[in-house]
Structure 1
Amino acid sequence: SVELTAREFNLFCQSVQQLSETMKSLVTQLMEEELVSCELETEYLWMEVEGFPDAFRLSFILNQGRCVEGGWSASITSELIKGLARIQRFRVEN
């Protein structure tokens, strides 16, 4: 378990969304059985998704100070993306 700062959480959410959208955009470019890996790196965060465009695992490393790393399986990543989207909508509405 790790607690993210506001800056880390915002960057985490943006990165997850960006990589998720990238994976979705690849669905028409890949054969059904092809796996793909995408990485995103900033000064504060490294993130990777790997799998199929509609089912991929997510890994991350916080680069600043704490050097925390973690990840989720494809089934959990799907739920994580939905949960983060709900949080972002709630934050915008309030």
Structure 2
Amino acid sequence: MLKQGRGWRLGWRADAPVYKGLVGAEDWALELTAEEMRDFCRLLRDIHQTVADISKHLMPEEAVVCEVESELLWLGAEGYPDNYSLRIILSQPRRGEGTWPPYAITELLQASQSLELF
């Protein structure tokens, strides 16, 4: 199953031998193992919640930079609490990276939450 919207793509294929997940944008994609995909969905929720928590302590004109990581991947958010871009870097055993624009984040987060249902 592939879900996509403006600036993002998420996919899951449970019967794939190794790379069951897919994350990407309009011009890039990374295939992920099931463990990497679980980490991605968890870290995406974590970074979104952290940005929301930090925003309570910021002045309206202040930007935020936030990072979360696991042994397998790193996510970084940069921008304003209601308008930030997101970057992913795969750590092991493969390497890869990509970036989502601010307008894609809300739908990406929503899709990642429903991804666990199929």
2:84 to 44, 47, 56: 56
SS at match of 2:55: coil
State the Cα RMSD in Å. 1.2
Question: 1:63-82 maps to which residues of 2 (within 5 A)?
Answer: 63-82=91-110
The aligned residue for residue 12 of structure 1 is 40
Give the aligned partner of residue 69 of structure 2: 41
Asked if 2 retains the 8 angstrom alpha-carbon contact of 1:15 and 1:47, the reply is yes
Identity of aligned residues (%): 37
Alignment gaps of 5+ in structure 2: 1-28
TM-score normalised according to structure 1 size: 0.87
2:86–2:99: 8 Å Cα contact kept in structure 1? yes
TM-score by length of 2: 0.71
1:42-66: CA deviations, max 9, x gaps?
A: 2211110111112211101111122
CA contact (8 A) 1:55 1:78 kept: no
Distance 2:33 2:91 in 1: 13
Relative to structure 2, which stretch is displaced further, 78-87 or 16-25?
Answer: 78-87
Letter in 1 for 2:106: S
Determine if the alignment matches structure 1 residue 2 to structure 2 residue 56. no
- Structure 2 residue aligned with 1:29, among 38, 41, 57? 57
Number of aligned pairs?
90
